[in-house]
């Protein structure tokens, strides 16, 4: 199964970065929080894919000239169910997030990030 990591990133504003560690190298930013309630969508912003070295940053890694803090919020494996330009549906199996989730097109570049079921 492909693996993922979610970094909690303290840059200009705190946000979460969701990245695939293997398989399809894709990055999404969740500026407010990760979705934890199937009744509330969160925002997902397609982020620049980073070099493989960035994907393995450990807790309290300081990144770049501004020395922003990056820590691992969660990691684990995921099972892709659908992967297209319009919709990404995966089941996460992590320590903090273990649920089927979707990021889908709803107009514009930013996407709703929806938790489809409770863990």
pTM reported for the whole predicted model? 0.78
Residue 40: how many other CB atoms lie within 10 Å: 11
pLDDT (tens digit per residue) in 68-86: 677 888 999 999 899 888 8
User: Which CA distances in Å does 32 have to 8, 54, 84, 86, 115?
Assistant: 11, 21, 24, 22, 14
Distance CA 43, CA 105 (A): 11
- The three-state secondary structure class of 113 is strand
Distance CA 46, CA 94 (A): 21
pLDDT (tens digit per residue) in 1-47: 888 888 887 777 778 888 876 655 577 888 888 888 899 999 998 87
Greatest Cα pair distance in the chain: 40
């Amino acid at each position: 199964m492909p693996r993922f990591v979610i970094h909690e990133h303290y840059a200009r504003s705190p946000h979460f970065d969701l990245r695939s560690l293997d398989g399809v190298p894709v990055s999404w930013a969740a500026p407010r929080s990760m979705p934890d309630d199937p009744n509330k969508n969160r925002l997902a912003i397609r982020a620049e894919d980073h070099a493989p070295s960035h994907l393995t940053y450990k807790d309290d890694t300081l990144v770049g000239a501004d020395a922003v803090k990056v820590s691992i919020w969660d990691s684990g494996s995921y099972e892709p169910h659908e992967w297209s330009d319009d919709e990404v549906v995966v089941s996460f199996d992590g320590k903090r997030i273990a649920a089927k989730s979707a990021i889908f097109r709803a107009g514009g570049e930013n996407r709703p990030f929806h938790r489809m079921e409770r863990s």
